[in-house]
């Protein structure tokens, strides 16, 4: 029986997805916009089998995690009108302690490998819609470069669309992951966003501001204006994190060291280096800068933060098959 191996790269949002208007179908409140990265990816192999099994990073998955995984495979099977079971092996290629979530790359690679093994030949929009059902941000990892997740009206049109048809970025951009902590976060993005949507009075203001931020971000990207891209992304991330302080109970993903790294980025900026930051549902910082300056900026960061791990990433490709 043939096996299919797919690769999908992780993506980092410049304009954040932070809240579902429909938790079953994972339909977001606002459009989001991300950059797919070359450095961090998941490689997943799928093959038809007598029962569903899942080996992640060399270890068999069981219990609640396996149920979550088979529930997602059920969505793919229902779509393909098949009841075939699958054996899946998945490996995350994220440098140790990069502090980057792998759910986007993981679910995107799984969607491609599993649908192929189920004998489905899907288009990228179909793959994006299905990946969304596993983890919202995964729909963006189907494509490379800059990608917009259009919130859509329902399941049929809530999907990602690449900004450039060839998925190439003309903007010279890189992201430096600065690892503040590699501990698993106490509040998952799923739980954090649902508490925020339900209780934070700041949430509607965040959603509203994302509409303007997306427009401005697309303009900045098409103008190749990295300064604007960084400024809008930084402000958007801070607005997302502000919503969590208004939640009941209030919470925050910041650690003391997070504020320290932010201070270092701001000082570098005052000293003439073009760099901004963004952060997701955890304490780690991603520094946005020009690809051509990423080494220099990483050296400066390392000088100021000698104990923290850094990893430089550039724009990466969309999900693709590497063998079958």
Residues found near ligand PMV in the complex (CB under 6 A): 13, 16-18, 32, 101, 103, 135-137, 189-190, 280-281
Q: Between residues 282 and 294, which has the closer beta carbon with respect to ligand PMV? A: 282
Q: What b/e readout covers 247-273, taking b as 16+ CB neighbours within 10 angstroms?
A: beeeeebbeebbeebbebbeebbeeeb
C-beta separation of 34 from 14 below 8 A = yes
Minimum gap (Å) between residue 135 Cβ and ligand PMV: 4
Q: Between residues 191 and 323, which has the closer beta carbon with respect to ligand PMV? A: 191
Measured distance CA(62)–CA(277) in Å, rounded: 37
Q: Between residues 47 and 105, which has the closer beta carbon with respect to ligand PMV? A: 105
Q: Between residues 89 and 133, which has the closer beta carbon with respect to ligand PMV? A: 133
C-beta separation of 195 from 164 below 8 A = no
Q: Between residues 187 and 205, which has the closer beta carbon with respect to ligand PMV? A: 187
The C-alpha angle with vertex 99 and arms to 138 and 253, in degrees rounded to 5, equals 90
Minimum gap (Å) between residue 228 Cβ and ligand PMV: 19
Minimum gap (Å) between residue 27 Cβ and ligand PMV: 13
In whole angstroms, what separates CA 75 from the centre of its chain? Answer: 21
Minimum gap (Å) between residue 197 Cβ and ligand PMV: 12
CA dist list (Å): 118 to 151, 158, 219: 28, 23, 40
Q: Between residues 27 and 87, which has the closer beta carbon with respect to ligand PMV? A: 27
Minimum gap (Å) between residue 253 Cβ and ligand PMV: 9
Minimum gap (Å) between residue 23 Cβ and ligand PMV: 11
How is residue 282 written in tokens?
A: 């955890």
End-to-end CA distance of the chain: 10
How is residue 27 written in tokens?
A: 């339909």
């Amino acid at each position: 029986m043939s096996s299919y191996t797919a690769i999908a790269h992780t993506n980092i949002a410049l304009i954040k997805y932070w809240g579902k208007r429909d938790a079953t179908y994972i339909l977001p409140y606002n459009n989001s916009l991300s950059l797919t990265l070359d450095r961090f990816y998941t490689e997943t192999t799928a093959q038809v089998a007598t029962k569903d099994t899942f080996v992640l990073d060399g270890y068999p998955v069981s219990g609640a995690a396996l149920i979550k995984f088979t529930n997602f495979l059920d969505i793919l099977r229902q779509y393909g009108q098949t009841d075939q079971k699958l054996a899946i092996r998945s490996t995350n290629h994220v440098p140790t302690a990069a502090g980057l979530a792998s759910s986007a790359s993981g679910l995107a690679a799984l969607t491609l490998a599993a649908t192929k093994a189920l004998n489905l030949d899907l288009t990228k929009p179909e793959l994006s819609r299905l990946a969304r059902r596993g983890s919202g941000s995964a729909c963006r990892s189907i494509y490379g470069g800059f990608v917009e997740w259009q919130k859509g009206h329902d399941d049929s049109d809530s999907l990602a669309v690449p900004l450039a048809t060839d998925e190439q970025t003309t903007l010279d951009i890189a992201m430096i992951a600065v690892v503040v902590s590699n501990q698993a976060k106490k509040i998952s993005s799923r739980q954090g966003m649902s508490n925020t949507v339900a209780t934070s009075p700041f949430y509607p203001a965040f959603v509203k501001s994302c509409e303007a931020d997306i427009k401005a971000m697309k303009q900045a990207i098409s103008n190749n204006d990295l300064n604007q891209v960084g400024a809008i992304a930084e402000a958007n991330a801070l607005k997302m994190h502000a919503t969590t302080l208004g939640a009941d109970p209030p919470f925050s993903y910041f650690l003391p060291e997070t504020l320290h790294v932010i201070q270092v980025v701001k000082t570098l900026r005052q000293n003439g280096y073009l760099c901004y930051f963004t952060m997701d549902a955890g304490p780690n910082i991603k520094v946005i800068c020009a690809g051509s300056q990423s080494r220099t900026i990483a050296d400066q960061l390392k000088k100021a933060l000698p104990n923290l791990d850094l990893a430089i990433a550039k724009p990466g490709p969309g999900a693709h098959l590497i063998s079958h």
